């Protein structure tokens, strides 16, 4: 099912938790709602489920306006961070419960519950109580319970944050698999950009209630809409050199060189800008002529991650680990075309060519 929101707004008194958000979400995809704490992710999810009434705007499921429908009428499956399983019920009873409410016959409830228990790989534990399961297993039960009603929409609110690091990675792959197998349009709230990038088809990145970019996951990395997006997505964090645009290049603060790249950005002379570059966009070829100094270096697989000083700033790049590097060395660098962006320092808006 396709989801559309139009000027969606939620205010709590003075606080604008979600500010006039308009977007259309494709059917059958896994969409991450991503952003720092307090940016409005959970509020957005709760408006989609119907738990929270909207202040302004509309929500459409396919062509139907569901803005004023109660949660039970929206046919959504919800999974929370704390699983919220019924402790006195077995796994089977937990999964069956939504069907019992819907007055589905006992035989059919059990058949469907077993089908979903199998999908989430917990069919061996049907007779256990939640406290006899690990965190990851409890989360699987919660997902099966949400899916058993054949919801049109699956909403997951930080579903992995109570799990340890290794299990988190395992479970995110499981969520991806389950979502693909079930084909249900799924929203997944997280503040972890790596988690969002690893599993989602699309990411909506938010800041202070406002959408920064809604796009295919790889586009947030390759084509960030603004400096906030460029900075939030990616590890190591994107390099950022602040300076002045002058004579067709960037004069970085604290440095006398004018850095020229292959780009033809439309920038006014004298503008304060930020030259941002992914670590893998830094080159170390013989003809490269931008002077830097090595501050630190770390082994990173077959490469060395070097931390370089240029003017008042540091930047990181990957260099072949066979090249001998010492702290204090002078090292010339260049910039590739891809993975290099220019932003307005004040507004964070991107300059295009
Ligand atoms: P987190 O990652 O910390 O869960 P979030 O991105 O999910 O954050 P929300 O919980 O949606 O953020 O909150 C968005 C903003 O709305 C915050 O400033 C928050 O303090 C505020 N807010 C949320 N719920 C309420 C409420 N019931 N009453 C008042 N303010 C609220």
- Tens digit of pLDDT for each residue in 288-342? 999 999 999 998 888 999 999 999 999 999 999 888 899 999 999 999 999 999 9
Q: From residue 120, give the alpha-carbon distance in Å to each of 46, 75, 91, 144.
A: 24, 20, 12, 7
Reply yes or no: is the peptide bond before residue 76 cis, omega within 30 of 0.
no
Looking at residue 279, its pLDDT comes to 97
Question: Which atom of ligand 1 lies closest to the CA of 46?
Answer: 11
At 274, the pLDDT band (50, 70, 90 cuts) reads: very high
Choosing from 15, 190, 193, 232 the residue with most ligand 1 atoms within 8 A of its CB, the one to mutate for a pocket test is: 15
Cβ–ligand 1 distance for 15 under 6 Å, the answer yes
Residue nearest to atom 28 of ligand 1 (CA): 12
Looking at residue 323, its pLDDT comes to 87
Choosing from 34, 38, 45 the residue with most ligand 1 atoms within 8 A of its CB, the one to mutate for a pocket test is: 38
The sign of the torsion formed by the CA atoms of 59, 63, 65, 70 equals negative
Residue nearest to atom 8 of ligand 1 (CA): 38
Looking at residue 136, its pLDDT comes to 85
Looking at residue 135, its pLDDT comes to 85
Q: Which helix (H) or strand (E) holds 194?
A: helix 193-199
At 35-89, the pLDDT tens digits run 999 999 999 999 999 999 999 999 999 999 999 999 989 999 999 877 789 999 9
Residue nearest to atom 25 of ligand 1 (CA): 12
Cβ–ligand 1 distance for 207 under 6 Å, the answer no
- The rounded distance, in Å, linking the Cα atoms of 271 and 13 is 38
Choosing from 42, 82, 205, 232 the residue with most ligand 1 atoms within 8 A of its CB, the one to mutate for a pocket test is: 42
Instruction: Kindly report whether the global pTM for this prediction surpasses the value 0.85.
Output: yes
At 98-111, the pLDDT tens digits run 999 889 999 999 99
Cβ–ligand 1 distance for 48 under 6 Å, the answer no
User: What's the rounded mean pLDDT across residues 141-150?
Assistant: 91
Looking at residue 121, its pLDDT comes to 87
Looking at residue 72, its pLDDT comes to 87
Nearest to 132 by CA among 168, 84, 87, 82: 87
Residue bearing tokens 């008042």: 312
Ligand 1 center–CA 37 separation, angstroms: 8
* Residues 6 or more apart in contact with residue 128 via CB below 8 angstroms: 90, 91
Looking at residue 201, its pLDDT comes to 97
Is pLDDT of 264 > 80? Answer: yes
The first and second tokens of residue 331, run together, are 């090292």
Q: Considering only 14-23, 251-260, 320-329, which range has the smallest mean pLDDT?
A: 320-329
Query: Between β-strands 153-157 and 76-79, what pairing exists: parallel, antiparallel or unpaired?
Result: parallel
Beta strand residue intervals within 2-116, DSSP E: 3-12, 15-25, 30-34, 56-61, 64-65, 76-79
- Three-class SS state of 315: strand
- CA-angle at 189, arms to 185 and 191, nearest 5°: 145
Ligand 1 center–CA 45 separation, angstroms: 11
Cβ–ligand 1 distance for 191 under 6 Å, the answer yes
Residue 37: is it exposed, middle or buried by C-beta count within 10 angstroms (0-12/13-18/19+)? exposed
Find how far residue 42's CA is from the centre of its chain: 14
Residue nearest to atom 9 of ligand 1 (CA): 40
Residue bearing tokens 């000027």: 7
Cβ–ligand 1 distance for 71 under 6 Å, the answer no
At 149-202, the pLDDT tens digits run 889 999 999 888 877 888 888 888 888 988 999 899 999 999 999 999 999 999
Ligand 1 center–CA 74 separation, angstroms: 23
Q: How many CB atoms lie within 10 A of CB 21?
A: 21
Contact 272, 291 (CB under 8 A): no
Choosing from 11, 17, 156 the residue with most ligand 1 atoms within 8 A of its CB, the one to mutate for a pocket test is: 17
């Amino acid at each position: 099912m396709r989801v559309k929101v139009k000027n969606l707004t939620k205010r709590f008194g003075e606080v604008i938790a979600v500010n006039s958000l308009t977007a259309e979400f494709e059917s059958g995809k896994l969409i991450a709602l991503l952003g720092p704490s307090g940016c409005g992710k959970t509020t957005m999810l709760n408006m989609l489920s119907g738990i929270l009434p909207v202040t302004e705007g509309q929500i459409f499921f396919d062509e139907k306006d569901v803005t004023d429908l109660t949660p039970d009428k929206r046919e959504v499956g919800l999974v929370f961070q704390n699983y919220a399983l019924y402790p006195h019920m077995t796994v089977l009873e937990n999964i069956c419960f939504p069907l019992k409410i819907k007055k589905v016959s006992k035989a059919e409830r059990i058949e469907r519950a077993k089908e979903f228990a199998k999908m989430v790989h917990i069919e061996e534990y049907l007779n256990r109580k939640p406290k006899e399961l690990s965190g990851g297993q409890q989360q699987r039960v919660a997902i099966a319970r949400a899916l058993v009603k054949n919801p049109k929409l699956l909403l997951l609110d930080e579903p992995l944050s109570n799990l340890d690091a290794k299990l988190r990675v395992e479970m995110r792959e499981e969520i991806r698999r389950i979502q693909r197998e079930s084909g249900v349009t799924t929203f997944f709230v997280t503040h972890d950009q790596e988690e969002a990038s690893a599993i989602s088809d699309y990411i909506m990145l938010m800041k202070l209630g406002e959408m920064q970019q809604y796009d295919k996951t790889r586009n947030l990395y390759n084509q960030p809409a603004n400096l906030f997006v460029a900075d939030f997505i990616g590890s190591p964090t994107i390099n950022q050199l602040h300076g002045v645009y002058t004579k067709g290049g960037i004069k970085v603060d604290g440095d006398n060189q004018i850095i020229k790249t292959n780009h033809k950005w439309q920038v006014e002379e004298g503008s304060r800008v930020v030259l941002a570059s992914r670590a893998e966009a830094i080159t170390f070829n013989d003809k490269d002529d931008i002077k830097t100094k090595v501050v630190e270096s770390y082994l990173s697989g077959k490469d060395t991650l070097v931390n370089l000083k240029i003017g008042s700033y540091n930047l990181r790049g990957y260099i072949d680990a066979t090249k001998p590097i010492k702290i204090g060395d002078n090292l010339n660098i260049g910039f590739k075309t891809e993975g290099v962006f220019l932003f307005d320092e004040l507004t964070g808006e991107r300059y295009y060519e």
